[in-house]
Amino acid sequence: MGIKKVGVAGRGFMGAGIAQVCAQSGYEVVVVGRSKQSLNKGIATIEYYLSRDVDKGRISQQDKDSTLACIKESINQEDLNDRDLVIESVPEDIELKKKVFAELDRICPSHTILCSNTSCLSVTELARVTNRPDRVIGTHFLSPVPRSKLLEIVRADTTSEETLATVKEFGRSLGKEILVAKDTPGFIFNYLLIALTGAAERLLENGVASAEDIDKSMTLGLDHPIGPLALADFNGLDVGYMVSRAMYERTKDPRFAPSAILKELVDSGRLGRKTDEGFYKYKKEK
């Protein structure tokens, strides 16, 4: 099945990035958000990244304008009723995602493939609330979506071969390298990342080393572009906490339990770059 019309259900930072890469690849995109305010914030994010690419010579002004022209925004989920593929990108709450999937199943035509951008939750569990479990799959984009080269595709127990092949082709059309993972907690990427980040957090809370030196051990020792604590700040400590807690609840593996220092930062509202303070302090951005 060919994909021409794409929908994005959820207009956060990730939803904006997904909409951008789909539009840049020539797809007609409808993005649904909860409010006009969230939609305005999302389009501002897209314009920021596109403008930066224009300034750096990666794309032309015409490319930017044509990308924005491919994106339509709505606060009405019913406007996804003609899409070939819809990507859900709401917070990591299984009950919220189930509600969204049940609604998308009702709204969308029978051929529509329903994808979840979940980073750790069960795609099979989401598929069970629909009448099309064979056309439900995970598409875990990494942040920031326009810059990341990777798309992790998660095959639910019920996902058909046709759906898997179609979504792999779709992912490659976005310029992404594809990994296919089984539907297990954290899949591939977050299974590794959450364990690494948790270890870094425990080194910090036990006073073994400073945040700077812990991060340098990875950036200088393994040539990582960014250390695990700085990356946690970038992604949002509240997001990391939700993912860590969800993985621990599913596995009971102590490696994935949220660290005490992470919980303390989240409880105090220090969520990383978005609040100008997390493991590091940041200058306020204009």
Question: What are the structure tokens assigned to 147, written together?
Answer: 């810059």
Active site residue 119: yes
| 274 Cβ contact list (under 8 Å, min separation 6) | 236
Considering 38, 116, 117, 140, which one is annotated as catalytic? 140
Question: What are the structure tokens assigned to 30, written together?
Answer: 């409808």
Distance of CA 247 to the CA centre of its chain: 16
Active site residue 190: yes
Considering 89, 190, 244, 259, which one is annotated as catalytic? 190
pTM of the model: 0.91
Active site residue 152: yes
Considering 152, 201, 235, 244, which one is annotated as catalytic? 152
Question: Which parts of the chain sit beneath pLDDT 70?
Answer: 1, 285-286
What structural domains and CATH numbers belong to the chain? 5-182 (3.40.50.720), 189-273 (1.10.1040.10)
The confidence score (pLDDT) of residue 40 equals: 85
Q: Report pLDDT digits (tens) over 249-280.
A: 999 999 999 999 999 999 999 999 999 999 99
Considering 38, 89, 116, 119, which one is annotated as catalytic? 119
